[in-house]
């Protein structure tokens, strides 16, 4: 008989449990991200797979949970039901093992967050957990269908494409069943969670060498002039086809301080859709420079450091600290022993550059510190722009 308290390495713990001999897997988990789900299930196939989660479209729009994860579960033959305001987490592996923990199916919970729970193979505990699951399952409404997933995906994508993001949630609904759990206010996703689960991370450059700004330049002024709280512009010569949905876009501005570049914000990007994400005549009339920078990456849940560019993070310090490990292209070239490994040459004449995992960690840590020290531009102010 085994009963263990666990407060770290939950990714390994759950992966190990998924490789057990159990033929049935029952899950209660509010937030499910694609990367963690694939890692958890691996290549294992269960004869019975039942999942209770949340069907709140705000969760999908904010990035704390993935619609694609629901699609994967259905393809795996899972039966999925939704409950409003769900926060419980339970993983039942047949009659072999029960895990009750604070751990969601996210990379942040697997590897970064301090999560607490227990693992047990005691028959009495497994029986109690199974009874709890079955009672909640009975109150969790009808089974999710593929058509619902596709409808929700279209709704959330349209919502985000219209730059609603964090600031407005009009039109988004919670389709979970009312299981008698009291209503709770919607939660904003922690930055650390979004960064950990992001499929990509880029530094997007604003400005050109001919129009650098002083460090005293106000960040809110750049947001107003550039519209970077809703879209990031790319030149007419190159569509930004490499950006995937959910990519973290660090937003930077060329400054006059030793020709440095200051990262002053971040946002979640959406993949570029030709036509939808191209400048209209009205866009160009408002900002004439968009005639030569007409292609967009739409962004949502943008956050910017308050005050001036001086409060942002120096990209030169990142490159001085990490060298070729700053960016994905230079790190790849260094590993294979050919090509450019100088990070300062990697971003020359580029609209954006992809960060390495080390670059993402370095930059996110320091930008979060800047947010804590200087504060962020209020959401109400961002909502007034564009």
Confidence class for position 1, pLDDT limits 50, 70, 90: low
Q: Count Cβ neighbours within 10 Å for each residue of 352-362 and write b for 16 or more, e otherwise.
A: bbbbbebbbeb
N-to-C CA span, the chain = 61
Lowest mean pLDDT, pick from 60-64, 92-96, 136-140? 60-64
pLDDT tens for each residue of 285-326: 988 989 999 999 999 889 999 999 999 999 999 999 999 999
- Nearest-angstrom CA–CA distance, 344 and 352: 13
**Higher pLDDT among residues 385 and 202, named by residue:** 202
Return the minimum-mean-pLDDT range out of 9-13, 168-172, 330-334: 168-172
Report DSSP state, residue 258.
G
Indicate the pairing of strand 248-254 with strand 201-206. Answer: parallel
Say whether pLDDT at 187 is over 70: no
140-181 pLDDT per residue, tens: 999 999 999 999 999 998 888 875 445 556 678 999 999 877
Q: What is the per-residue pLDDT across 195-223, written as a single tens digit (0 to 9) for each?
A: 777 889 999 999 988 889 999 999 999 99
Mean pLDDT calculated for residue range 92-101? 94
Indicate if 198-383 has the same CATH topology as 3-161. Answer: no
Contact 277, 293 (CB under 8 A): no
The pTM of this model reads 0.79
Positive or negative CA dihedral for 172, 178, 183, 188?
negative
The full set of domain ranges for the chain reads 3-161, 198-383
Q: Which residues pair with 26 in a beta bridge?
A: 50, 92
CATH number of 198-383: 3.10.590.10
Strand partners, 303: 266
- In whole angstroms, give the CA distance from residue 190 to residue 279: 32
- Residue 130: per-residue pLDDT: 96
Q: What is the pLDDT of residue 193?
A: 60
Looking at residue 89, the DSSP 8-state letter turns out to be: -
**Chain centre distance of CA 280:** 28
Q: What residues does 221 pair with on adjacent strands?
A: none
Q: How far apart are CA 41 and CA 34, in angstroms?
A: 11
**Minimal CA–CA distance to 80: which of 40, 104, 46, 52?**
52
Across the chain, mean pLDDT equals 90
CATH of domain 3-161: 3.30.870.10
CA distance 41 to 53: 16
**Does the pLDDT of residue 189 top 70, yes or no?**
no
Cβ within 8 Å of residue 160, ≥6 positions away: 61, 270, 298, 300
Cβ atoms 268, 249 nearer than 8 A: yes
DSSP state of 323: G
Distances (CA, A) of 146 to 25, 79, 105, 157: 21, 11, 21, 17
Going 76 to 82 to 87 to 90, the CA torsion angle's sign is: negative
- For 103-136, how does the pLDDT look when each residue is reduced to its tens digit (9 = 90+)? 999 988 898 888 999 999 999 999 999 999 999 9
Q: Which of 42-46, 96-100, 254-258 holds the top average pLDDT?
A: 96-100
């Amino acid at each position: 008989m085994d009963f263990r308290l666990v407060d770290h390495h939950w990714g390994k713990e759950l992966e190990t449990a998924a490789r057990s001999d159990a033929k049935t897997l029952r899950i209660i988990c509010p937030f499910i991200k694609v990367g963690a789900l694939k890692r958890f299930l691996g290549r294992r196939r269960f004869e019975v797979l039942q999942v209770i989660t949340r069907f709140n479209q705000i969760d999908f729009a904010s990035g704390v949970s993935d619609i694609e994860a629901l699609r994967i579960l259905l393809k795996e033959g899972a039966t999925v039901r939704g409950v409003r305001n769900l926060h419980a987490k339970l993983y039942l592996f047949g009659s072999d093992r029960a895990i009750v923990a604070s751990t969601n199916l996210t990379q942040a919970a697997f590897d970064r967050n301090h999560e607490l729970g227990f693992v047990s193979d005691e028959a009495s505990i497994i029986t109690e957990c199974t009874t709890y699951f079955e009672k909640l399952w009975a109150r969790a409404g009808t089974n999710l269908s593929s058509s619902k997933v596709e409808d929700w995906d279209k709704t959330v994508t349209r919502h985000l494409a219209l730059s609603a993001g964090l600031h407005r949630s009009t039109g988004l609904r919670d389709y979970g069943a009312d299981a008698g759990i009291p209503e709770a206010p919607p939660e904003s996703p922690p930055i650390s969670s979004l960064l950990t689960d992001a499929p990509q991370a880029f530094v997007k450059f604003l400005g050109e060498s001919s129009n650098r700004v002083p460090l005293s330049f106000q960040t809110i002024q750049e947001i107003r002039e550039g519209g970077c709280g809703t879209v990031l512009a790319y030149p007419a010569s190159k569509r930004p086809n490499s950006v995937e949905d959910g990519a973290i876009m660090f937003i930077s501005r060329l400054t006059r301080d030793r020709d440095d570049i200051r990262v002053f914000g971040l946002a979640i990007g959406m993949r570029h859709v030709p036509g939808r994400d191209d400048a209209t005549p009205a866009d160009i009339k408002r900002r004439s420079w968009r005639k030569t920078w007409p292609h967009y990456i739409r962004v949502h849940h943008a956050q910017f450091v308050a005050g001036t560019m001086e409060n942002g993070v120096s990209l030169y310090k990142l490159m001085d600290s990490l060298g070729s490990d700053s960016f994905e292209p230079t790190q790849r070239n260094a590993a294979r022993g050919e090509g450019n490994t100088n990070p300062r040459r990697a971003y020359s004449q580029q609209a954006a550059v992809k960060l390495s995992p080390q670059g993402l960690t370095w930059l996110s840590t320091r930008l979060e510190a800047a947010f804590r020290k200087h504060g962020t531009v209020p959401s109400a102010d961002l909502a007034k722009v564009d």
